[in-house]
Amino acid sequence: MKITRISAHQVDLPLYEGSYKWSGGKSVDVFDSTIVKVETDDGIAGHGEVCPLGPFYLPAYAAGARAGIAELGPHLLGENPIELDKLNRRMDAALKEHAYVKSAIDMACWDILGQVAGLPVCELLGGRYGDDFVLYRAISQEAPEAMAGRVAEYRAEGYRRFQLKVGGDPDVDIERIRAVADKLKPGDKLIADANTGWLKHEAMRVVRAVRDVDVYIEQPCLSYEECLSIRRHTDHPFVLDEDIDGMTPLLQGHADLAMDVVNIKISKFGGLTKARQARDLCVSLGIAMTIEDSWGGDIVTAAIAHLAHSTPTEFLFTATDFNSYVTQPIAEGAPQRENGRLAASKKPGLGIEPLQEVLGDPVVTVE
Ligand code: MG
């Protein structure tokens, strides 16, 4: 089997809530998503998606994904899409780093492998654990009382894990954490995600001020070393995200006991192949995970579902259903949240069928 064509489509994904805001005043109103189609000489096609959280979150931006696919694509024509480790080595040899550029191509090739094998990707990634898995809901940064007001609304949708966007003024963030914590019910979990937004002295003040609150602290500061310093001064459960983007930082974090939970975003690692490698390493090392991506629509949500559903339940801290945040469907067959939980498709591959009228004409074609 050979890759004969790679094309990329651009789709805007508006938000039901109008905008999504996080640390440092960063916000996005409409997400710019790239959907990749990989076609083969057997007539089987697979799809993937990559959607950066704006150009200022990770070293990734939407137009860069498409430029990168145009650059990388010619090196992949004639390659076998179902030999995924070989394909990833080829991508790494042809384009240094730029993990997010490779993510949607890798995802599309897993979709092809599943169709060839007649198996859902989740079974190929190790097996399906249970009937479904637990989701969290991100609470966009607003005034403390407005954020607290969201808890009941999201709990009515079934969510029991709430990820609060902090990383702003530390005094207001302390109020945000306390206001939301007051709304929690037994069984709920609260995560305060600063998204690198605090300096060390600010993070130190926040973790001390909320010491009596049952809250996870996620990525308080920009660098790994700063986060490690905060970690060593607090007894809150600790999550690392932005700084953990490959095996080397993951192993360093494990050696330093730097985190209790790691956030594995598919495109941050470069696709399902490498995210699975990180997932399996975390299981071997005893580290729980949030499994998600930077952002996305139906296809990213399907890929998250396959990776999350094939993760041993006790290691899956939580996962995300981005397709319920955005108003624009892009594929049929994508998993839909039910009572705050999600399940991977039982159809072969990713189990999705893109809506051609939404994708429109490709903006990049390599053949
Ligand atoms: Mg995070």
Q: What is the pLDDT of residues 184-218, one digit of tens each?
A: 999 999 999 999 999 999 999 999 999 999 999 99
Confidence of residue 366 (pLDDT cuts 50, 70, 90): very high
Please tell me which residue in 265, 274, 346, 347 is annotated as part of the active site: 265
Dump strand ranges (E) for 174-310.
189-193, 216-218, 238-240, 261-265, 288-292
pLDDT digits (tens, 9 = 90+) for 247-299: 999 999 999 999 999 999 999 999 999 999 999 999 999 999 999 999 999 99
What tokens appear for 22 in the block? 């996080």
Confidence of residue 70 (pLDDT cuts 50, 70, 90): very high
Confidence of residue 15 (pLDDT cuts 50, 70, 90): very high
pLDDT at 200: 98
Q: Is 189 a catalytic residue?
A: no
pLDDT at 189: 98
β-pair partners for 45: 39
Rg (alpha carbons) of the chain, rounded to whole number: 20
Average pLDDT, the chain: 98
pLDDT digits (tens, 9 = 90+) for 95-154: 999 999 999 999 999 999 999 999 999 999 999 999 999 999 999 999 999 999 999 999
β-pair partners for 49: 35
Instruction: Classify domain 3-119+355-366 at the CATH class level.
Output: alpha beta
Confidence of residue 84 (pLDDT cuts 50, 70, 90): very high
**Does CATH number 3.20.20.120 belong to domain 123-353?**
yes
Expressed in angstroms and rounded, the spacing between residue 134 Cα and the centre of ligand 1 is 17
pLDDT at 281: 98
Contact yes or no for 237/216 (Cβ under 8 A): yes
Expressed in angstroms and rounded, the spacing between residue 191 Cα and the centre of ligand 1 is 9
Confidence of residue 40 (pLDDT cuts 50, 70, 90): very high
pLDDT at 306: 99
| Percent residues over pLDDT 70 in the chain | 100
Q: Which of 162, 129, 161 is nearest to 306 (CA)?
A: 129
- Residues 325-335 have a mean pLDDT of 98
Residue 354 belongs to what H/E stretch?
strand 353-354
Q: Is 265 a catalytic residue?
A: yes
What tokens appear for 84 in the block? 């995924």
Expressed in angstroms and rounded, the spacing between residue 163 Cα and the centre of ligand 1 is 8
pLDDT at 341: 98
pLDDT digits (tens, 9 = 90+) for 280-291: 999 999 999 999
Expressed in angstroms and rounded, the spacing between residue 104 Cα and the centre of ligand 1 is 20
Q: Where are the domains of the chain?
A: 3-119+355-366, 123-353
CA dihedral 67, 70, 71, 73 (to 10 degrees): 140
pLDDT at 251: 98
pLDDT at 67: 98
What tokens appear for 189 in the block? 């979990």
Contact yes or no for 323/336 (Cβ under 8 A): yes
Expressed in angstroms and rounded, the spacing between residue 312 Cα and the centre of ligand 1 is 21
Q: How many CB atoms lie within 10 A of CB 178?
A: 16
Contact yes or no for 215/177 (Cβ under 8 A): yes
Please tell me which residue in 26, 37, 165, 268 is annotated as part of the active site: 165
